[in-house]
């Protein structure tokens, strides 16, 4: 197939993004020889003008921070999944020029967990309270049958997480960050914090812990992920999430399903190893 189409990832900063590596690997595996995938530094102020300049050759966009919420008023429609967390990471352009927004982070999380045999848990813990934490709560709303404890650094963040829980139908209990080691008692712990934030917790990992989902992919492995694996626990990493959400983006933008998961993961691993 040789239709000439374009797609790209937008954000600021964007130089670190692995999305071009993953999407280009998918195009090669699918035989989409005329497809291009780029990377553009775009902030909130520049986003409307960037979208207006796109022609009919554009198939879609991947969005990272700070654009996931800023793009919503510029779209014709968003999916219920994206609306549930007020965040869009995928824009698809229809043949009639409409802009459709979706969030593949949430189903990407679920797919990454399912790949490691986690499709239902009785309770869970979330470390952090940012945008990724709200996506984690949305994913947990589908697989967690009991309470989710969120470990946060401020009262404002605690209120935020309880608000997301109410909105998403998840029972959320909040606890101070100083008690974060207690998260490891849950069968599933999801770390959504920036690099280095959980390093000091590595020594608190118990023997034979449950499953850790650490959303970081660089640096990898984190100190927490290393300690977790050393003590016999299952670890899901940020690259797993990145690849699974990117597969869903490729499927939506190209109309080809299933996306080439293995080829994309191999390309991502090679790119990280070369850094």
68 part of the active site: yes
Q: Is the preceding omega at residue 66 within 30 degrees of 0, hence cis?
A: yes
Q: Which of 5, 53, 68, 120 is catalytic?
A: 68
Would you tell me the crossing angle of helices 19-30 and 261-274 to the nearest 10 degrees?
140
d(Cα 22, Cα 247) in Å, to the nearest integer?
8
The CA distance from 224 to 212, in Å, is 9
C-alpha distances (whole Å) from 265 to each of 28, 199, 214, 242, 268 are 13, 26, 17, 9, 5
Neighbours of 64 (CB within 10 A): 17
Cβ atoms within 10 Å of 79's Cβ, excluding its own: 14
Query: Catalytic site residues?
Result: 68
């Amino acid at each position: 197939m040789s239709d000439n189409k374009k797609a790209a990832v937008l954000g600021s900063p964007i130089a670190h993004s692995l999305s071009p590596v993953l999407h280009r690997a998918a195009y090669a595996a699918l035989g989409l020889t005329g497809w291009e995938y780029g990377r553009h530094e775009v902030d909130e102020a520049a986003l409307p003008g960037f979208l207006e300049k796109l022609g009919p050759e554009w198939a879609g966009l991947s969005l990272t921070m700070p654009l996931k919420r800023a793009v919503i008023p510029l779209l014709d429609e968003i999916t219920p999944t994206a609306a549930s967390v007020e965040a869009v990471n995928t824009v698809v352009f229809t043949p009639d020029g409409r802009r459709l927004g979706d969030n593949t982070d949430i189903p990407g999380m679920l797919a990454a967990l399912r790949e490691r045999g986690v499709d239902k848990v009785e309770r869970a813990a979330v470390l952090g309270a940012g945008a990724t934490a709200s996506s984690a709560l949305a994913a947990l709303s589908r697989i967690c049958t009991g309470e989710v404890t969120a470990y946060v650094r401020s009262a404002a963040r605690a209120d935020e997480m309880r608000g997301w829980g109410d909105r998403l139908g998840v029972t959320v209990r909040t606890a101070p960050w100083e008690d974060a080691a207690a998260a490891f008692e849950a069968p599933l712990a999801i770390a959504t914090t920036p690099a280095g934030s959980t390093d000091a917790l590595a020594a608190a990992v118990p023997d034979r812990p449950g499953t850790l989902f650490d959303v970081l992919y660089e640096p990898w492995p984190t100190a927490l992920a290393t300690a977790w694996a050393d003590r016999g626990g299952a670890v899901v990493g940020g690259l797993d999430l990145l690849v699974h959400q990117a597969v869903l983006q490729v499927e939506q933008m190209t109309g080809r399903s299933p996306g080439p998961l293995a080829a994309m993961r191999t390309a991502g691993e090679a790119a990280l190893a070369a850094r």
